[in-house]
Amino acid sequence: MMGRNFDSRILPGLFTVANLLFGFLSLIYAFKGEIRSAVAMIMLSVLMDSLDGKVARKLKADSDFGKELDSLSDVISFGLAPAILVYIFVYDAVWSFWGMWISALFTICGAIRLARFNTLDNTNYFIGVPITFSGGLIALLLLFTDKLLWVVYPIIMITLSILMISPLQVPKLGK
């Protein structure tokens, strides 16, 4: 049983910070050349991101601070980390210059999508494809770098970048 002095915002915040931590660790593993570990960290970020909101709603602990921290964590874990992973493991060897710009585009569009999300009040759907889905998909595809042609990555990254900032209404699942 929770004590009287327990602040219910702490628990969802811990999940959010874990999301950020795993995103950071993904980058460290990427710089060390450990693709599977880097992808695993992003998948753990996906799990933490799904839990922080559920826990916050269950505890009635939603807050503006939590929303901002969640978005900052998401831009690292699902914007920057997947973009850097693709750059290191795919583009750097075959398409360094353009890969740099596509990776930047993906990260920037993810940040724009999150900024827009924080200013809207839609409870039934997302506007644009969520960054969690986009970054998670990119990370999973990295497990198949030996089977996919490298040209698949820029096509998917540019498409997801556009879809993240598009006016497309995406139903919220699991609410």
Q: Three-state DSSP class for 3?
A: coil
Q: 1 pLDDT band (50/70/90 cuts)?
A: very low
Strands, E assignment, the chain: 125-127, 169-171
Quick: pLDDT tens for 139-173: 999 999 888 888 999 999 999 999 999 999 999 88
75 pLDDT more than 80 = yes
Structure tokens at 110: 């993810």
Q: Three-state DSSP class for 129?
A: coil
24-33, 46-55, 74-83: least confidently modelled range = 46-55
pLDDT of residue 2: 52
Q: Can you tell me the mean pLDDT for 58-81?
A: 94
Q: Are 55 and 88 in contact (CB under 8 A)?
A: no
For the whole model, what pTM was predicted?
Answer: 0.91
Q: Can you tell me the mean pLDDT for 8-24?
A: 94
The CATH code of the domain at 10-171 is 1.20.120.1760
Q: Which residues contact 110 (CB under 8 A, 6 or more apart)?
A: 74, 75, 78, 79, 131, 134, 135, 161, 164
pLDDT of residue 173: 80
